[in-house]
Every structure is written in C-alpha cells, then in structure tokens.
Chain A
C-alpha cells in the first residue's frame, strides 16, 4: 500500500478513548463522581443545595492557587510561598481599605504586592540560580511576617467605605445562585487552559519542564518565562486572597497557613508531575475537588476530623500510584 504524506501527519499515537483511560485526571474524576454518588445515598445532608454550594465554594480557594501552581510545576519548579502570599495580599487589601481607600485601590495594592513577590522569587530562581524550594521556603516565612508587620498582628474586619462591595465580591452569588468564587475559578481555569494549550508561552513552559537545556539552546527565553510563572503563581494566590477576604469578612495573620501543601496536593492528584513537563488546568480543579469532597464527606459521615490528613495523604499516594503502575507497564 502506498503511504501518502497525510497518513503520518494525521497519525495519532493513541485513539481518544485510549488517551482518556490512560490519564490520571480521568480516574480522579471517576473517584470524585463515585464519592459524590455514594455520599448522596449514604447521608441526607450531602446532596442538599446548601452543602453543594458550600463544597463548590470551598474548592475554589485551593483550586485557584492550584491553577497558578500548575504553571510553576510544569516548568519543574515549586512554590511554597503561596499560603503566605495569600495572607499578605489579603492583609494589604484589608489594611488599605481599612485606612479609607476605595476597593479599587485596595485590590490594586494587593495584586501589586503579589506580583512583586512573585517577581522577587522568579528573579532569584531564574537569574541567580537559587533552587526554587529554598527561595519560596524563605518567602513563606518573609511574606507571613510582613503580613504581621502590616497589621500589627491584629484581626482586620472593617474595610472602610467599600466594606459592602468587598463582601459582595467574595460572598455574593450574582449569576444563577452560583457562589461568586466558583465563577472566578471557572473563568481562571478557562484562561489557564487556553494559555497552556494555545499560546507560545504555554508551549515554552512545557519545553522548559521537559528539557531546560534544550529550550535554552533553541532560543526559548527561559529566564523571562521562569520569572513569569512565579509571578503567575503569586498572582493566583493574591486573587484567591482577595476573594477569600470578601467571603470571610475578616483577615487574620494565620490565614492560608499550610495552604501551600493542599495546593501542591491538589495539583499532583490532578496529574501534574513534580519532575516537570506535565500538568493541566482541569487536573488542578479536579484535584482540589477530590480533596474537598474527602474533607466534606468525613464530616458528614461522622468520622473524627483527626482522620482527615490520613485520607488526603492516602489520595495523594493513590493518585501517584496509578501513574507508577502505568510507567511500570510501559517499561515492561
């Protein structure tokens, strides 16, 4: 049979169903669905609109940051500072608005702070060659400390003239009764997915995670892109901070403590590889969803909350186990 040029061009390595079944994200989606179905039957409280409203909203804060973290993890980096950056951004917003400035000024100041921190992390990592783990570990400490300095370690719960606007921004449900944070999350997920799949920037992020040396040799602006991904990660933490402030109606200096680990867990459960080169926006959301469903179900099933860590840790190991099994099969 004569082989035409179109055959090799059109040839895909795996058919669509084969690719879906081979993806970790798919199995996590199944796990989430099964858990939801089980909980709907096992408890009366799960499938109520109030509980679903709460679950979807609780997913968002981890999910939004997980979207930003996905960029960093695809390049093969890690950002441990996101929990503290969330706290600092919230605090800057709160303090600015408390001082009588409008919500626009507050958000601007908060976003600018997050971007500055991301740029600082990125420059140290990309231009001075610091390991990402160390830089962001340092920033984890620095950012939280700055939040304490900014607020004098007090709780801020009065946000000046635009107090009501801020609360409605984070706590409202402007469209079809869906909590606002969920809408922001969906929007940000779509943007993230688009960037990763359809832009040159997204392509270069995967290239850096696959082979940084090769990316440099072929003229990819590796350093600039690395700075950008840490800025995106910090920005996502800042956005989550602003939304969470509006939802909670108060900011304390322990906001977002330990959140970096939940975010990284969500990203990894969703299929991102800490070694770099792999990750999706959808996976980040699904990973965050699984963690929240586990947390919610333990409460509803009356299991002692102390067991939460065991289940979430188990989910992380299980998700990565799937990946290992696939790789074992391939190497055979």
Chain B
C-alpha cells in the first residue's frame, strides 16, 4: 500500500494556479525524484505535504487514512519529515543538540526536568553510525563539512518513526565528494523502508539514487515513470516543454 497518496490536488494563489490536478502515490522504501523548472510547482506541492499550505482541491491519504494538515508540526506527528534546503542548523550548538532541537530529551519528575545529555549523545551517535557518517555527537556544527552537516539534518528526520522524508535540494551547494556522501545517506533512509522525495535540479543525482522520477511543468505533472524507462534527455525535454507529456 502506498505510504502517501495524493488525489487530484490543486492549489491556487489568487488567479495563479500553482499546482493543477496532480495525483501521485509514493511507496515505502522508494526514492522519488521530483523535478521541474523554477515555478513548476514543486515547492508548492511539497509545502502542502509538509503542512505549510492546504490544498485548494483534492485529498491526501497516508496509509489509507485521509490526511489533513493545518501546520508543519502536525505533518511531523504523522511521520512526515523535511530536510530544508538551508538545513536549519544552529552553528553554535553540537551535532546532538541540533538533532534534538525542538524535541529535547529530559529526565526528572514533574516540573523538575533537566536535559538528558547522556541519552541525547548516545542516540545521536547511533543515528550517525546507522548513516555511516563520521559525524560525532559532541562536535560543534560550526566546524563541520557540508556532508557532515547534511548527516545532522538527516539524522534529525530519523529520530521519530519517519515514514516519508522530503529533501529540498540537498545537493545544491556542496562539493562533489560530499554529494556522494549525501546520496549514500539517502540510500540508508531507503533501506530502512522510509520513502524519500528528492527535490532536485541536478539530473545526475536523481538518476543515481532515485527509483522513480516525477516531472512537473506549469503546475501539472507531465511525467511519472521509473528511472529505468526514462533518460536524462527525456526528462530535460519534459522540464523545458520540448516534450509535451508522456
């Protein structure tokens, strides 16, 4: 069964139709590349899944149940996690503190509860180990490489039982070697049965790691096919509009 299913989703801002009648379904453990030019409707679509916007029309279902989100925190409760384009990290805090930001572990009774440093370091260390990352929980994020920072942001999504992780341009601003690192992190998420939606402009990344590619143009879904049955040339054509629809 699909972990997330969108049916005839539309969203307009005044007269502008940002997303127009899009249906798609995402299976557990699947990496879906979401591609399209600027203004194609990718971000709007993702923001509806993340709870930032509500659809004007259409329905979303998660594990067969209807999903109605009023704010991002509710999306998180349903197991939808987002890795933001700028990663949303605090440089002055440790890796573990960033992983747990906003949902810190505490110990104690009633109102007398203090931060549980030991447990947070331990769990963060385990997450980094699962991700095969060299990131260390006590290191300050300030002194980390781009790939390590990605690991911190991704570890954050693994804290709770995430079912689907939305990644917004995770490889946009990092070095070639670090891109490989990030793609590995995505594979680790997939291997744990988590669905990943990879929003990207970079054709090679999507063709390396994704199982499926969805192309959007002018608010409509113009293609939704397996990587094996497509090619970078075809996707480029779909993005620019040289190929109308497949």
Binding site for B on A (CB under 8 A): 5-6, 8-13, 197-200, 203, 206-207, 209-211, 213-215, 217-220, 277-278
- Are A211's CB and B122's CB within 8 A? no
B114-145 interface (Cβ within 8 A of A) = 114-115, 121-122, 124-126, 128-129, 134-140, 143
Q: In the complex the two chains form, what is the Cα distance from A207 to B136 in whole Å?
A: 19
- Are A203's CB and B136's CB within 8 A? no
Point out which of B113, B114, B135 has the most chain A C-beta atoms below 10 A from its C-beta. B114
- Are B122's CB and A9's CB within 8 A? yes
- Are B122's CB and A200's CB within 8 A? no
A–B Cβ pairs within 8 angstroms, 25 of them: A5-B125, A5-B129, A9-B136, A9-B137, A11-B139, A198-B115, A200-B106, A203-B97, A203-B101, A207-B90, A207-B93, A207-B101, A210-B90, A210-B91, A211-B89, A211-B91, A214-B86, A217-B84, A217-B88, A218-B102, A218-B156, A219-B76, A219-B102, A277-B91, A277-B92
Shortest Cβ distance from residue B49 to the other chain A in the assembled complex, whole angstroms? 15
Q: Mark B56-78, 1 if CB is under 8 A from A, else 0.
A: 00000000000000001100100
- Are B101's CB and A209's CB within 8 A? no
Shortest Cβ distance from residue A196 to the other chain B in the assembled complex, whole angstroms? 11
- Are B90's CB and A215's CB within 8 A? yes
Residue of B nearest to A330 (CB): B143
Shortest Cβ distance from residue B162 to the other chain A in the assembled complex, whole angstroms? 14
Interface membership of B177, Cβ < 8 A: no
Q: In the complex the two chains form, what is the Cα distance from A206 to B129 in whole Å?
A: 27
Q: Could you say which interface size class chain B belongs to? A: 35 or more
Chain A residues with Cβ below 8 Å from B86 are: 213-214
Chain B residues with Cβ below 8 Å from A13 are: 138-140, 143
- Are B104's CB and A218's CB within 8 A? no
Q: In the complex the two chains form, what is the Cα distance from A211 to B97 in whole Å?
A: 13
Q: In the complex the two chains form, what is the Cα distance from A173 to B159 in whole Å?
A: 52
Chain A residues with Cβ below 8 Å from B143 are: 13
- Are A9's CB and B121's CB within 8 A? yes
Identify which of A8, A211, A218, A219 contacts B128 (C-beta below 8 A): A8
Identify which of B72, B92, B101 contacts A278 (C-beta below 8 A): B92
Residue of B nearest to A219 (CB): B102
- Are A203's CB and B115's CB within 8 A? yes
Chain B residues with Cβ below 8 Å from A11 are: 136, 138-139
Chain B residues with Cβ below 8 Å from A209 are: 92
- Are A214's CB and B89's CB within 8 A? yes
Q: In the complex the two chains form, what is the Cα distance from A199 to B114 in whole Å?
A: 5
Identify which of B104, B126, B138, B139 contacts A5 (C-beta below 8 A): B126
Binding site for A on B (CB under 8 A): 72-73, 76, 84, 86-93, 97, 101-104, 106, 113-115, 121-122, 124-126, 128-129, 134-140, 143, 156
Other than the given A207-B93, A219-B103, 11 more pairs (CB < 8 A) read: A5-B125, A8-B137, A9-B122, A199-B114, A206-B93, A207-B90, A210-B92, A211-B88, A218-B101, A219-B72, A278-B92
Chain A residues with Cβ below 8 Å from B93 are: 203, 206-207, 210
Chain B residues with Cβ below 8 Å from A215 are: 90, 101-102
Point out which of B101, B103, B114, B136 has the most chain A C-beta atoms below 10 A from its C-beta. B101
Chain A residues with Cβ below 8 Å from B72 are: 217, 219
Point out which of B72, B88, B97, B103 has the most chain A C-beta atoms below 10 A from its C-beta. B88
Shortest Cβ distance from residue B104 to the other chain A in the assembled complex, whole angstroms? 5
Q: In the complex the two chains form, what is the Cα distance from A277 to B124 in whole Å?
A: 22
Chain B residues with Cβ below 8 Å from A214 are: 86-90, 101
Chain B residues with Cβ below 8 Å from A218 are: 88, 101-102, 156
Q: In the complex the two chains form, what is the Cα distance from A12 to B106 in whole Å?
A: 22
Chain B residues with Cβ below 8 Å from A9 are: 121-122, 124-125, 136-138
Chain A residues with Cβ below 8 Å from B113 are: 200
Chain A residues with Cβ below 8 Å from B126 are: 5
Residue of B nearest to A5 (CB): B129
Shortest Cβ distance from residue A311 to the other chain B in the assembled complex, whole angstroms? 31
Q: In the complex the two chains form, what is the Cα distance from A211 to B87 in whole Å?
A: 11
Q: In the complex the two chains form, what is the Cα distance from A199 to B103 in whole Å?
A: 12
Chain A residues with Cβ below 8 Å from B124 are: 9
Chain A residues with Cβ below 8 Å from B84 are: 217
Q: In the complex the two chains form, what is the Cα distance from A215 to B125 in whole Å?
A: 22
Residue of B nearest to A209 (CB): B92
Chain B residues with Cβ below 8 Å from A12 are: 138
Q: In the complex the two chains form, what is the Cα distance from A218 to B156 in whole Å?
A: 10
- Are A211's CB and B90's CB within 8 A? yes
Point out which of A214, A217, A219, A278 has the most chain B C-beta atoms below 10 A from its C-beta. A214
Chain B residues with Cβ below 8 Å from A198 are: 114-115
Shortest Cβ distance from residue B98 to the other chain A in the assembled complex, whole angstroms? 8
Chain A residues with Cβ below 8 Å from B135 are: 8
Shortest Cβ distance from residue B133 to the other chain A in the assembled complex, whole angstroms? 9
Shortest Cβ distance from residue B159 to the other chain A in the assembled complex, whole angstroms? 11
Identify which of B89, B103, B129 contacts A8 (C-beta below 8 A): B129
Chain A residues with Cβ below 8 Å from B122 are: 9
Chain A residues with Cβ below 8 Å from B121 are: 9
